[in-house]
Amino acid sequence: MSMTRYILQILCPDQKGLIAGTTQVLAKAGANIIDLQQHTAKDIETFFLRAVFDIEADGIPEVKRHLETIAPHLQLNWKLFDTSKTERVAIFVSKTDHCLYDLLLKRRDGDLPCEFSCIVGNHPDLGPVGGSFGVPFYYVPSNPDKTIPENRFREIIEETKTDTIVLARYMQILTAQFTEEFKYRIINIHHGFLPAFKGAKPYHQAWHKGVKIIGATAHFATEDLDQGPIICQDIQRVPETASIDELVELGKDIEKRTLSQALKLWLEHRVFVHAGRTFIL
């Protein structure tokens, strides 16, 4: 029988024997552990574990049964991911294209283990980009009544069997209802190094403060603008003489590499969210 690769995430209060218990569960089911990473956040006495293992299909019910047995005693929160099932990701855009192109190219080159189910734009400008990569484009114009486009988003997500949403410089605010409905399944790129310079025109804010470093932040979208749990950040030093336009151009490289890295971390199931923050293994 062929082997399938799975990823196991475990999150629970820190206590003795967690690693041994986990490896015993996998060993009893006949799994071959390929990689195992763990971390204890001492400040909150919380344990995180990510295990990658190969196993025959008939061994998975046994893994699940063992985990369900020990979960109540250990207060175990666990998730099991079958890596043979490809995550389907929708990209939301406006008019800016650098993040969109970067994601599409990285997927084409095999750097992102996903399928892009669709591109959704509140302007029609980037429609041809989707066509050149074979990704369907949906034009959903913005509306003062945000329930109108968001109801259409739900239809598209269902039609395209989308699992995750990436906001690739989508310049519209989503409602609390929508972000809660897709909680921790919407990844946004903010063209600023959060928590500083939140909101609009962060490069302008940064320039007027005379910053020496600019950055970008990929985070989960929540009802609080630019306040969701942070997945990935990156920075770059800038010359004192740089203009606002030059900061914007420098920032584009940071934005696209930060967003693609955040998506990769998510697709590889390295992101844990606990108590409003992320832990990356």
Q: Which residues are marked as active site?
A: 226
Does the N-terminal peptide bond of residue 195 adopt cis geometry, omega within 30 degrees of 0? yes
Q: How far apart are CA 49 and CA 32, in angstroms?
A: 16
Q: How far apart are CA 233 and CA 83, in angstroms?
A: 26
- DSSP assignment of 36-94 equals EEEEEETTTTEEEEEEEEEEEGGGHHHHHHHHHHHHHHHT-EEEEEETTSPEEEEEEES
Please list, residue by residue across 101-132, b when 16 or more beta carbons sit within 10 angstroms of its beta carbon and e when fewer do: ebbbebbeeeebebebbbbbbbeeebeebbee
